[in-house]
Amino acid sequence: MTDSWAAFGADLHIEPVGSGLRSGLMHALREAVRTGRLTPGTRLPSSRTLAADLGIARNTVADAYAELVAEGWLTARQGSGTRVAQRAAAPGTASRSPRTRPVRRRPAHNLMPGSPDLSAFPRAEWIKAARRALVAAPDAAFGYDDPRGRIELRTALADYLARARGVYADPERIIVCSGFVHGLTLMGKVLRRHGARGTAVESYGLDIHWNLLAGEGLGTPCIPVDRLGARTGALEGMPGVGAVLLTPAHQFPTGVPLHPDRRAAAVDWARSSGGLILEDDYDGEFRYDRQPVGALQGLDPERVVYMGTASKSLAPGLRLAWMVLPEGLVAEVCEAKGGFDWMSAVPDQLTLAEFMRSGAYDRHVRAMRLRYRRRRDQLVGELAERAPDVRVSGIAAGLHAVVELPEGTEQSVVQAATWQGLALERLTRFRHPGADPVPDGLVVGYGTPSESGWAGALEALCRVLP
């Protein structure tokens, strides 16, 4: 029991300076508080624990604490321990604190695209799944494992994707990764190894994807997007392009599905050129007015890399995504993954596997599909009544809509939204640098607000539209 103190209390890195231990300890503590390293409310170790850590007498620490309490640097209450006191910042000191950051005002209403309703995350069901999964998991699951991911999750994904998305999904061909961007980074590395000079992208999309591919040394020429989706016939005239990144189920941000003829044209190009299609199954599970559009991968599993994620169906904070690969690419992608990120967190993989196997994932997706459809209908109805000069498109599926504005009004609408405390994104934000100019419009993420915040966000949007 001589070392029982080592199991209690919080760690505190502190280095007493000066000739006297007590004065040196007091100076070090003052500096830690003054610079912001110890923030107000931080609980300090007991005098016994800190004395043992520093190898000094307990009375020395107790005396130092008592004097700093008297000076107002610390507080001490029975049952609450010793804590850093709340202090008003001295004039001119805020800019010197390493923790000080400019205060950025959070908008009152958020209609930014790209996020689900985070308040709807199924916490109770997730906790139940986590408990069952962790109890059943073998000890070996928590060691260094297969870079493809846990077999439990890959098996659950194979079953779900085949049933719900029409994907040819063998667990041996699935790789779990930490988000879509992680998977795209891996594919960029593999494409460069294969000698590709470029990856074609859609003329509307996310610059983070274009910049990521460019960072891997790949050009990103764009193919036009119209009311039928990406004009994939343009791929035939792009020499050096080894792959194309498509959002066929629900193009981002226009919201149109890829026409069957253009799906076939993309697959024909991949077969004849030896290229790959990188299929981003964006919002594929959320459809409202049409039959579900199956994954493009089902047309040719050896020429399409299917890429999915839990970011929209559950939450982006889970950092769980997956790729279903052509058989010949599995080893190469595993090698690329092992080079800088061997495996994704096991507990969340096991939990998602159990969440899917139990049917909770299907129930959650169906419930959210109803919620988002109701919001979509309310959005369309309110805009038709209160802003008849605007047109809403891309609404058959997904978590966002495109609000097409009269020419020349986009800038004024966005400015008015800022004054109303409403966060939204303009359509021009998603135009590829090589694409033709796009019409004025907004990309409205109706999936983003919480249930309690949705009505206010919709009202704010209606107030700023022409």
**Least confident span in 93-102, 144-153, 270-279:** 93-102
Contact at 8 Å (CB) between 427 and 443?
A: yes
104-140 pLDDT, tens digit each: 567 899 999 999 999 999 999 999 999 999 999 999 9
Residues of the chain with CATH 1.10.10.10: 4-96
Helix, strand and coil content of the chain, in percent to the nearest 5, comes to: 45, 15, 40
Residues of the chain with CATH 3.90.1150.10: 109-117+362-464
pLDDT for the residue numbered 78: 78
Contact at 8 Å (CB) between 278 and 235?
A: no
Q: Is 223 exposed, middle or buried (0-12, 13-18, 19+ CB in 10 A)?
A: buried
What is the four-CA torsion angle of 105, 107, 108, 113, rounded to 10 degrees? -160
- CA–CA distances in Å: residue 224 to residues 231, 237, 430: 6, 13, 13
pLDDT surpasses 90 at 280: yes
Confidence band of 279 (pLDDT split at 50, 70, 90): very high
pLDDT for the residue numbered 95: 41
Contact at 8 Å (CB) between 279 and 305?
A: yes
Host H or E run for residue 213: helix 207-215
**Count of C-beta atoms within a 10 Å radius of residue 88:** 6
**Least confident span in 24-28, 281-285, 416-420:** 281-285
pLDDT for the residue numbered 326: 97
Residues of the chain with CATH 3.40.640.10: 121-358
Greater confidence, 13 or 271? Answer: 271
Confidence band of 159 (pLDDT split at 50, 70, 90): very high
Contact at 8 Å (CB) between 210 and 351?
A: no
Closest to 350 measured CA to CA, from 312, 305, 311, 318? 318
Closest to 431 measured CA to CA, from 250, 210, 264? 210
Closest to 171 measured CA to CA, from 147, 151, 146, 144? 151
Confidence band of 199 (pLDDT split at 50, 70, 90): very high
> How many CA atoms does the CB half-sphere of 399 hold within 13 Å?
23
pLDDT surpasses 60 at 98: no
Could you tell me the maximum CA-CA distance found in the chain, to the nearest angstrom? Answer: 82
pLDDT for the residue numbered 106: 79
Q: Is 237 exposed, middle or buried (0-12, 13-18, 19+ CB in 10 A)?
A: exposed
Closest to 294 measured CA to CA, from 243, 325, 254, 248? 248
Average pLDDT, the chain: 90
44-67 pLDDT, tens digit each: 999 899 988 888 999 999 999 999
Greater confidence, 21 or 360? Answer: 360
226-275 pLDDT, tens digit each: 999 999 999 998 989 999 999 999 999 999 999 999 999 999 999 999 99
- The fold of 109-117+362-464 is Aspartate Aminotransferase, domain 1 (3.90.1150)
pTM for the predicted model, two decimal places: 0.83
Q: Domain 121-358, CATH 3.40.930.10 — does that match?
A: no
Q: Domain 4-96, CATH 1.10.10.10 — does that match?
A: yes
pLDDT for the residue numbered 90: 42
pLDDT surpasses 50 at 3: no
